[in-house]
Amino acid sequence: MSEMKLGAVVITMGDRPEELRALLDSVAKQHGDAIEVVVVGNGAPVTGLPEGVRTVELPENLGIPGGRNVGIEAFGPAGSDVDVLLFLDDDGLLPDATTADLVRRAFDEDPRLGIVSFRIADPVTGRTQRRHVPRLRASDPMRSSRVTTFLGGANAVRTQVFAQVGGLPDEFFYAHEETDLAWRALDAGWAIDYRADMVLFHPTTPPSRHAVYHRMVARNRVWVARRNLPAPLIPVYLGVWVLLTLLRRPTAPALKAWFGGFREGWRAACGPRRPMKWRTVWRLTRLGRPPVI
């Protein structure tokens, strides 16, 4: 049997050339067949890359899901030219040259495995933040498990998933696009794994560094619910997140931006609505994360 073919998509705004080059070098050092790489310049030119790396330069920033969708299509419709696509942040690094082998083995051994979420570790301390473990019980980042979502800049996706359920939601621009895709994949019968042995080094940074963070987190939370949840669960899910946001006691400007985004989520179009089956709700619940939190 021929070796599973891997590709990689990296989006960049052109502001981290040294980190990007280090990431691409770490991809090139992976054992097994060479991984074809596409770098998407998201509203920025891309220069100085190693030979053989393909580039797509977009005239404007399409956001994280929009940029990654362009990268997917660079590998053919729904990424069909390869079996699995890796999505890696441009300031990340694969420290272990066997990661690609682990990815191939994971997808070979489980034909219903659709998505793998890597463990993100700080390159200096080696620590993994709780928010980078995609489950509620996140105290032990070294424990691999089945999960209900994944990390956007450190993952691998079987391209059959895109062919069946579509790509990332362009409308989101930033935040929660992974949850939207994860719920659609789970509803179609695919599984998602968090793998502690597949590591991406990434510097520890707060997500709130992005100016649009609070508004888009709230807006897209509403959109995830409107697009994917059965109608009775929408107010429960959003009510829980309003309560959690208030309990975290954000600053007054942050809270104002959050509620502005929450209102926008109800007023603005969010794309097609395809509510998940109730058996998927039960599946998410059995996996430890019912779709109300």
- Please state the rounded mean pLDDT for residues 86-114: 98
Q: Does residue 1 fall inside a structural domain? A: no
Verify that 188 and 134 share a domain, yes or no.
yes
Verify that 75 and 175 share a domain, yes or no.
yes
CATH number, domain containing residue 18: 3.90.550.10
Verify that 110 and 229 share a domain, yes or no.
no
Q: Does residue 173 fall inside a structural domain? A: yes
At 126-166, the pLDDT tens digits run 999 999 999 998 999 999 999 999 999 999 999 999 999 99
Hey, which residues does 115 pair with through a beta bridge?
157, 192
Verify that 259 and 114 share a domain, yes or no.
no
- In which domain, by residue range, is 35 found? 6-205
Verify that 214 and 84 share a domain, yes or no.
no
pLDDT over threshold 50, residue 1: no
Residue 205 binned pLDDT confidence (cut-offs 50, 70, 90) = confident
Q: Does residue 287 fall inside a structural domain? A: no
Q: How many percent of the chain have pLDDT more than 70? A: 98
Verify that 249 and 106 share a domain, yes or no.
no
Verify that 165 and 26 share a domain, yes or no.
yes
Verify that 13 and 98 share a domain, yes or no.
yes
Verify that 101 and 195 share a domain, yes or no.
yes
Q: How many domains does the chain have?
A: 2
Residues 129-150: b if buried by 16+ CB within 10 A, e if exposed = eeebbbbeeeeebeebbebbbb
Residues 11-45: b if buried by 16+ CB within 10 A, e if exposed = bbebeeeebbebbbebbeebeeeebbbbbbbbbbe
Give backbone dihedrals phi and psi of 138, rounded to 5 degrees, phi first.
-110, 15
Classify residue 85 as exposed, middle or buried by CB count within 10 Å of its CB (0-12, 13-18, 19+).
buried
Verify that 98 and 46 share a domain, yes or no.
yes
